Structure 1
Amino acid sequence: MVRDKVTALVGDILKRNGIDRPVDANADLVSQGVTSVDMVQLMLAIEAAFDITIPQSGITPENFRSVATITSLVNKLAPVEAAN
């Protein structure tokens, strides 16, 4: 499931920053401790995990605000088989 993969990727980044807590799908990632550098790493991890390329127009703060918004973006871009 897309949301589970996105949650795991965000959790990995938070753990690298010494933050070990559950990731709420609707929580603002910046307020959870995700930095701008982490966002770049997260974007690259999302592209690799789902075999997609996020277009320049998709790289916005709104699309990377939370697990839920990232999941929505991936669902728009990912082939159905990549989401499973």
Structure 2
Amino acid sequence: MSQDKLSDVLRDHMPEAPALGALDPEANLVDLGIDSLRLVELIISLEDSFDVLIPDEEMLAENFRTVGTIAALVDRLTAGV
């Protein structure tokens, strides 16, 4: 998985994310401006951008808590492709 591609997808949905530089893996999504609607849009963008389907059993709050947990989820899903 491309970290740059993931960063671009995340930044598109996080109004409080820094425009440049690496995203802090420990950064909380709520602190970066994610609300419930943006989260749904982010999930759709992740599926489209990485050509994966996030299964229902992975739709857990802990998978979408931080930048790092999203990166780990995308890594798991793309590793099986």
TM over 0.5: yes
Name the SS for the 2:69 alignment partner: helix
Tell me the matched-pair count: 78
Change (3 A) 1:20 1:60: closer
Partner Cα separation in structure 2 for residue 72 and residue 32 of structure 1: 18
Q: Distance in 2 between matches of 1:20 and 1:77?
A: 24
Q: Which has the higher contact order (CA 8 A, sep 6+)?
A: 1
Give 1:63's aligned amino acid.
N
Contact 1:7 1:25 in 2 (8 A): no
Cα distance in 1 for partners of 2:2, 2:51 equals: 12
Query: Aligned residues: percent identity?
Result: 35
Q: Secondary structure at the match of 2:47?
A: helix
Normalising by structure 2, what TM-score?
0.80
The residue type paired with residue 35 of structure 1 is D
**Structure 1-normalised TM-score?**
0.77
- Please give the alpha-carbon distance, in whole angstroms, between the structure 1 residues aligned to 2:35 and 2:64: 12
Structure 1 unaligned spans of 5+:
none
Moved over 3 A (4+): none
Q: CA RMSD in A?
A: 2.0
Residue of structure 2 in register with 1:4 after alignment: 4
